[in-house]
Amino acid sequence: MRGTVIDPDGSQRPSVAQEAEGLARTGPGYPEEDALRSAVTERLASANITSVTVEVRRDRVTLEGTVGDPAAVGLIQALVEAVPGVKSIENRLVVG
């Protein structure tokens, strides 16, 4: 494989230039992801929900955080599902 670096154990890994190129194409900073993250965050903030962390990968939203009761989990899920562009949600919210 051209441009790879050979490790002491004989395996090959991408060169620094290849890693940088890969991150430039697939890393954080996609405008669509940033816009979707902003839309979800704004929707939650408009409902006074600030204890939830939002991560976006393409059209998949991951929610993490602690909420006060089980009803809040359902409310947050419904709010995020209503945001245009959200195709799937990974809900990691914990009631605590």
Predicted confidence (pLDDT) per residue in 79-93, tens digit:
999 999 999 999 999
How far from 46 is each of 19, 30, 42, CA to CA, in Å?
Answer: 39, 24, 6
Predicted confidence (pLDDT) per residue in 3-41, tens digit:
665 666 767 777 777 777 766 655 555 678 889 999 999
Domains of the chain: 29-95 (3.30.1340.30)
- Locate 16 and state its tokens: 């620094």
Predicted confidence (pLDDT) per residue in 61-73, tens digit:
999 999 989 999 9
Cα–Cα distance measured from residue 59 to residue 62, given in angstroms and rounded to the nearest whole number: 10
* 3-state secondary structure (DSSP) of residue 8: coil
